[in-house]
Amino acid sequence: MSHHILKATKNTVHLGGFSHLLTPSLTVASGDTVTVETYTGFYVYDKAPAAFLTPEFIDICQNLPGERKIATGPHLLTGPIYIENAEPGDVLEVELIEISPSLPVGFNAIRSGWGALPEKFTQPALRFINLDLENQIAEFPQNSGIKIPLKPFFGILGVATPEENRSSIPPGNYGGNIDNRELQAGAKIYLPIFVPGGLFSIGDGHSAQGDGEVNVTAIETSMNGTLKLKVRKDLRLQIPMAETATDIITMGFGNTLDAALAQAVEKMIDFLEKFMHLSAEEAYVLCSLAVNFRISQVVNSPQKGVHGMLPKSILPQQINI
């Protein structure tokens, strides 16, 4: 197995979406690890403080090639990464080994017409928020004494599909803009593969976020991470799922929270049938008794997200997905 370093440059990132036509930024073998650099804030860099900027990030913002501007989404993603021997129908296991902010400042933005309360908060607003990386906290509002623990994760982990110019905004069966704050270091996410090589991209770093991400953004942060990418030919998934040290996580996406919840419940039932050999009815009951269903995000139009968390502690034996 090999280790790779993928820096974010104008030739290794792409903006706004996913496309299977993109030239891969890196090719790896199944089981390889990658230390990856990501930047965020493409559309706000000209308003940012100096601590938010690096020469490499400015070069990306000013000189990104046109062929790497994929769609209208706001996200700057590093990749895609081509994984050898990954074929449609396989599953990509992404183990999140390390995740850390690379700069001592992030931002939060309210966008007109977006968020959980678009009719109440109609005016756009951009705030830059200092990060205390030594103590792993952010104080907001500044000098308020309210200290938010940093819990860094990547909002977007996704693969390409046959669709040429897919926006980075909505999540789906390909992963993408999941915005699930459970996907911190130590977690694994499992993504269905749709095109040869998978073409995995990553970005949208968040230093802290509440479930729901209700005002559209978290503390959006340029982020570095170390990942292990493994092709799983023994798994078949229609939609991403994940696990942490403590929980099995199923996901649901839909135009409404009701639809997203229904899908997350159905996928948890599927998991319990396959891995715990329960009947569908027994699994449904167990979901009501012991599974916690949470709102991942309500802002990535048109797809809202819900995830279900099954505590591993209640299971009779160690489950290996």
* Structure-block tokens of residue 245: 């040290």
Taking the C-alpha atoms of residue 308 and residue 252, their distance in angstroms, rounded to an integer, is: 8
Taking the C-alpha atoms of residue 150 and residue 137, their distance in angstroms, rounded to an integer, is: 5
Write down the pLDDT at residue 59: 98
Taking the C-alpha atoms of residue 164 and residue 167, their distance in angstroms, rounded to an integer, is: 10
Taking the C-alpha atoms of residue 146 and residue 5, their distance in angstroms, rounded to an integer, is: 36
Taking the C-alpha atoms of residue 290 and residue 67, their distance in angstroms, rounded to an integer, is: 48
Write down the pLDDT at residue 261: 98
Which tens digits make up the pLDDT trace of 95-138?
Answer: 999 999 999 999 999 999 999 999 999 999 999 999 999 999 99
Alpha carbons within 13 angstroms on the beta-carbon side of residue 227 total: 33
Residue in 157, 149, 196 with CA at minimum distance from that of residue 175: 157
Write down the pLDDT at residue 233: 98
Which tens digits make up the pLDDT trace of 240-259?
Answer: 999 999 999 999 999 999 99
Write down the pLDDT at residue 238: 96
- Spans in the chain with pLDDT lower than 50: none
Write down the pLDDT at residue 319: 84
Give the DSSP H/E element, type plus range, for residue 126. strand 125-130
CA 169 to centroid of chain Cα atoms = 11
Cα dist from 189 to 48, 105, 229, whole Å: 32, 27, 10
